[in-house]
Amino acid sequence: MKKIIFLILMLIVVTGCGFGNRNGNKVTDAEKFKQEYSQVSDNNPFVYATPSDVINLIENGTGVLFMGAKQDAWSQAVAPILDTAAKENGITKIYYYDFREIQTQNTAEYQKMLLLLDAFLKEDEEGKKNLTYPTIYGIKNGAIVGRHDILHDGTAETIELNEEQSNAIKEAYNTIINNTKTTE
């Protein structure tokens, strides 16, 4: 009986039954992001962050944070621009976070993010401050050193940017990225 159990376990280990993707490999953040944002490169620098990751980054970290939503046309439009800007500036990691769920639930993490980002948030027509997407934050040693957002009504299904618009957004992202770099 022990031999049968051992053989079954060995078969599972050798074939990788039930683990990972079709190739037997775990899906990377870059692959998952590419599935959600099809216009980015295959080897994109996006890493999925948790609420704790975002809070720690804002409080103490250094990096670029992309707050977006895969269903949002503007997030889809700016993600490849940010991907290109990151690559051109030697950035290998961009934290990605979709806060919609914790915003809807008004969790403690969401309230903490609002508190930490209060100075950078705009009031809505009711006078309340909320996170918006897409927003890019540059953070250096726990200080916001750059921010870019696109305020919109969320009704557009697709966005087509002309070259001038793309270049202006990319230049804003370049500035944010460069502001996060540390001098050594």
pLDDT tens-digit readout, 84-129: 999 999 999 999 999 999 999 999 999 999 999 999 998 888 999 9
pTM over 0.85: no
* Distance of alpha carbon 82 from alpha carbon 8, whole angstroms: 47
- The two tokens of residue 116 are 């930490």
Instruction: Please provide the CATH number assigned to the domain covering 29-180.
Output: 3.40.30.10
CB 65 within 8 A of CB 16: no
- pLDDT at residue 15 tops 90: no
- Indicate whether 181 pLDDT > 50: yes
pLDDT tens per residue, range 56-95: 999 999 999 999 999 999 999 999 999 999 999 999 999 9
Domain boundary assignment for the chain: 29-180
Supply φ then ψ for residue 5, to 5 degrees. Answer: -60, -45
Residue-wise burial string across 135-158, b where 16 or more C-beta atoms lie within 10 A, e elsewhere: bbbbbeeeebbbbbbbeeeeeeee
